[in-house]
Chains A and B, each alone.
Chain A
Amino acid sequence: MHHIYCPYCEETREEEEYSYTGEAHIERPKDPAAISDEAWGDYLFFRSNPRGIHHEMWYHAAGCRRYFNVTRNTQSYEIHETYKMGELPTVTAQVPTPAPKAAQQGEAS
């Protein structure tokens, strides 16, 4: 079981209260009609699936019902940090993956 720090509740809670909701920092194309099918398909379906540092979204389902970001090592399962929506991670992979963009998910409410 993970113990995950919720940046909104400002407490470490049991994993049972959370659910994982996929990779973080994926920006929706501003004008979907203007991009190619391939680019749209990449946005919609393709995820980085790295071995090592991964930035992902979690949802505090049983708590404050807020989405936030987690930097987790997919090899060791270690959680390096959690941070609010709209913020950038301080822990990133050694080999630079595409630079994380500011979260476009907005304040999920």
Chain B
Amino acid sequence: MTNSTHNAATDVMESPLHHHVAHTNAVDAGVVMTEDKFRGHLNLRGNPQDADFMAAVASVLGMALPTEPNTSVRVNGFVAYWLCPNEWLLIVASGAQGQVEADLRQAVADKGGNQHIAVTDVSSGQTLVNLSGSGLAQLLQKSTVYDCHESNFPAGKVVQTTFAKTGTTMCKLEDGSVDLVIRRSFSDYFFLWLADASEEYGLRIA
């Protein structure tokens, strides 16, 4: 009796690190989380009706900014998310944000000088997380108020909404996975929610 490794008490108890260690890195995980860390995140604001501004940005990024609500454009490692009619999130290669920011300012200045724009480096305040797997659809149903069905959330669409009540920017990718931009200050909370919500599917950190 004393050499038994199980007893009724520990079978129902949770360790303080329960969510961190109990369900992660399951072999046949239904939810796979990959952090695309240290990418450059730039918040860009400007007037989309201003042809000079749009041309200047396009000359730096090599693509036109998306002007349709809830859309994104992705070219050569640059990703531009539509955030509101005059605001975009640019996600660039790790470490490139300083150069892109300088290039954007220079290009806009070259086009006409005193345009009312803002480029803000927000890289350190948020991170990019990719979620995929067979349990993803159900995980999203539990976690967000947005309707993430394929018919409402097709590839390329960007939605700013709540994920477990924290703010997030979600983008559906061509492969069916979802990119989430989450706040640094909410990352612990996000992960604990993710570990708990994916318990029945298994969670793997790739």
Given A9-B69, A10-B69, A11-B69, check contact A17 B161 (CB 8 Å): yes
Contact A63 B161 (CB under 8 A): yes
Q: A53 to chain B: closest CB distance in Å?
A: 28
Q: For residue B162, which residues in chain A have a CB less than 8 angstroms away from its CB? A: 16-17, 62
**Set of chain A residues within 8 Å of B45, measured between Cβ atoms:** 109
Interface membership of A13, Cβ < 8 A: yes
Which of A8, A13, A14, A17 is B84 in contact with, Cβ under 8 Å? A8
Count, A-B residue pairs, CB within 8 A = 41
A42 to B35, CA, bound (A): 53
What residue of chain A has the Cβ atom nearest to residue B118's Cβ?
Answer: A109
**What CA separation (Å) do A66 and B160 show in the bound complex?**
12
Known: A62-B161, A109-B86. Is A17-B145 also a contact (CB below 8 A)?
yes
Q: Mark B154-174, 1 if CB is under 8 A from A, else 0.
A: 000000111001010000000
Contact of A13 (CB < 8 Å), options: B85, B161, B165? B161
- Whether, in the assembled complex, B70 has its beta carbon less than 8 Å from a beta carbon of chain A, the answer is yes
> Is the CB of A65 closer than 8 A to any CB of chain B?
yes
Contact B70–A9 (Cβ < 8 Å): yes
Taking a contact as CB atoms under 8 Å apart, the answer to whether A14 and B145 are in contact is: yes
Chain B residues closer than 8 Å to A109, beta-carbon distance: 45, 86
Structural contact, A65 and B146, CB atoms closer than 8 A: no
| Interface status of B83 (Cβ within 8 A of chain A) | yes
A91 CB–B CB distance under 8 Å: no
- A11 partner residues in chain B, CB cutoff 8 A: 69-70
For B162, the closest partner residue in chain A by CB is A62
A14 touches B146 (CB 8 A): yes
Interface contact A64-B146, CB-CB below 8 Å: no
**A to B CB contacts below 8 Å, 16 in the list:** A9-B69, A9-B84, A9-B160, A10-B70, A11-B69, A11-B70, A14-B145, A16-B162, A17-B145, A17-B161, A62-B161, A62-B167, A64-B69, A65-B83, A66-B85, A109-B45
Question: Chain B interface (Cβ within 8 Å of chain A)?
Answer: 45, 69-70, 83-87, 145-146, 160-162, 165, 167
| Residues in A lying within 8 Å of B, measured CB to CB | 8-11, 13-14, 16-17, 62-66, 109
